[in-house]
């Protein structure tokens, strides 16, 4: 074989071998992910199932929240509620005793929407103790039923009770048609320091006062309260408040107070009727209160402890599920 023939053969072999190598490289590059996927199909299947399960849980959570929601106010678009089965407007008045002076919205420096100050977005701030009131109407925004009714109330507070609150009782929320001691749901900070935080679900006054034959009115009233001696509120952080109540007006009535997802007290054993003139009932916010409130929501079902934890942990707030 001549030198030129040997050179041609070597060149041919090299080219063929190189082509085969390149083919092998391309083949491996194409099939390596597929081979990996096949070998690890169990892992990928588990991850897929986990993703589907997470999505399903989120969907279930969104479903029960949306289906039971009756009122939601984020205060991000002003004072009107983002969602309401009833009137979505916030009203204000010089005092509770002046219904003829009620106006829509806020017209004073006592109540302010503070941009960017909320748990989510903006927040409603109460600047000083004052007789002025701000409220949503109860009709259809809370699932009242004179025979038996249930629900959940949720909101966030940011307040330093010892240094911001002025002397006297103060109610961040109070829902009633008459007064705090007559067919009313409320939470308050007590007037004495160190301040307690209390939940009151008080039936008709004419009913529970009948229980004072052997005990005083104060004792009977206090039996209907859930009390937190050292509440975790601070000016720097938001605290979640949730109230659940079931079968009010019946012998099975029960209600609970939760702070940051934890049950702080449950009361039962009181069958007082709960009678409202519904047109006169209001959801009052910030009575004599100084601080911030945000993400007010009301539901027509009493949430379980697990659901309260989910509500407390909900990223993005209620707006994220609407």
pLDDT in tens, 103-132: 999 977 889 999 999 999 999 999 999 999
Which of the residue ranges 22-31, 88-97, 199-208, 295-304 would you say has the lowest mean pLDDT? 22-31
Question: 7 falls in which pLDDT band (50, 70, 90)?
Answer: very low
The owner of tokens 């679900």 is 201
First to last CA, the chain: 85
Q: Which two tokens stand for residue 46?
A: 């588990």
Q: Which residues pair with 113 in a beta bridge?
A: 124
pLDDT of residue 25: 36
Q: What is the mean pLDDT of residues 302-316?
A: 95
23 vs 79 pLDDT, higher one = 79
pLDDT of residue 42: 61
Three-state secondary structure call for residue 293: strand
* Interval 148-186: pLDDT, tens: 999 999 999 999 999 999 999 999 999 999 999 999 999
CB distance 197 to 187 below 8 Å = yes
Q: What is the mean pLDDT of residues 294-318?
A: 96
The token duo for 108 is 């004073």
Q: In this predicted structure, what is the pLDDT of residue 47?
A: 53
- 3-state secondary structure string, 117-173? CCCCCCEEEECCCCCCEEEEECECCECCCCCCEEEEEEEEEECCCCCCCCCCCEEEE
pTM of the model: 0.82
Q: Looking at residues 82-94, what average pLDDT do you find?
A: 97
Percent of the chain at pLDDT above 70? 81
Tell me if 60 sits within 8 A of 303, measured CB to CB: no
Tell me the C-alpha to C-alpha distance, in Å, between residue 56 and each of 51, 53, 309.
9, 5, 18
Interval 38-84: pLDDT, tens: 455 566 555 555 444 444 455 566 788 999 999 999 999 999 999 99
Strands 123-126 and 291-299, by their bridges, are antiparallel
Of 18-22, 180-184, 229-233, the one with minimum mean pLDDT is 18-22
Q: Any bridge partners for residue 227, and if so which?
A: 198
For 69, residues 6+ apart whose C-beta sits below 8 A from its C-beta are 83, 297, 298, 299, 318
Query: For the segment 256-271, what is each residue's pLDDT rounded down to a tens digit?
Result: 999 999 999 999 999 9
Nearest residue to 321 (alpha-carbon basis) of 54, 116, 59, 118? 59
Judge whether residue 226 has pLDDT over 90: yes
Q: pLDDT category, 22, cuts 50, 70, 90?
A: very low
CB neighbours of residue 191 within 10 Å: 14
Averaged over 210-227, what is the pLDDT? 89
Question: What pLDDT is stored for residue 210 in this prediction?
Answer: 87
Dig out the tokens for 191 from the structure. Answer: 């007037």
């Amino acid at each position: 074989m001549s030198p030129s023939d040997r050179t041609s053969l070597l060149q041919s072999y090299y080219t063929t071998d190189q082509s085969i190598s390149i083919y092998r490289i391309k083949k491996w590059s194409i099939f390596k992910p597929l081979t990996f996927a096949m070998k690890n199909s169990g892992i990928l299947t588990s991850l897929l199932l986990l993703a589907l399960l997470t999505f399903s849980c989120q969907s279930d959570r969104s479903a029960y929240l949306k289906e039971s929601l009756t009122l939601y106010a984020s205060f991000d678009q002003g004072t009107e509620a983002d969602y309401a089965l009833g009137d979505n407007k916030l009203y204000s008045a010089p005092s509770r005793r002046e219904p003829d002076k009620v106006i829509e919205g806020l017209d004073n420096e006592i109540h302010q929407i503070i941009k960017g100050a909320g748990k989510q977005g903006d927040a409603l701030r109460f600047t000083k103790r004052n007789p002025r009131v701000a409220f949503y109407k109860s009709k259809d925004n809370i699932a009242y039923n004179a025979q038996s009714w249930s629900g959940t109330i949720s909101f966030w507070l940011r307040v330093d009770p010892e240094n911001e609150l002025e002397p006297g009782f103060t109610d961040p929320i109070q829902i009633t048609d008459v007064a705090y001691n007559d067919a009313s749901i409320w939470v308050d900070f007590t007037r004495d320091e160190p301040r307690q935080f209390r939940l009151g679900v008080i039936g008709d006054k004419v009913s529970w006062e009948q229980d004072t034959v052997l005990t005083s009115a104060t004792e009977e009233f206090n039996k209907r309260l859930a009390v937190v001696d050292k509440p975790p509120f601070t000016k720097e952080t938001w605290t979640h408040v949730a109230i659940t109540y079931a079968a009010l007006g019946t012998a099975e009535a029960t209600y609970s107070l939760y702070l940051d997802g934890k049950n702080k007290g449950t009361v039962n054993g009181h069958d007082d009727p709960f009678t409202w003139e519904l047109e006169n009932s209001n959801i009052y916010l910030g009575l004599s209160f100084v601080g911030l409130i945000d993400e007010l929501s009301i539901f027509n079902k009493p949430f379980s402890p697990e659901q309260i934890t989910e509500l407390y942990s909900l990223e993005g707030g209620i707006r994220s599920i609407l």
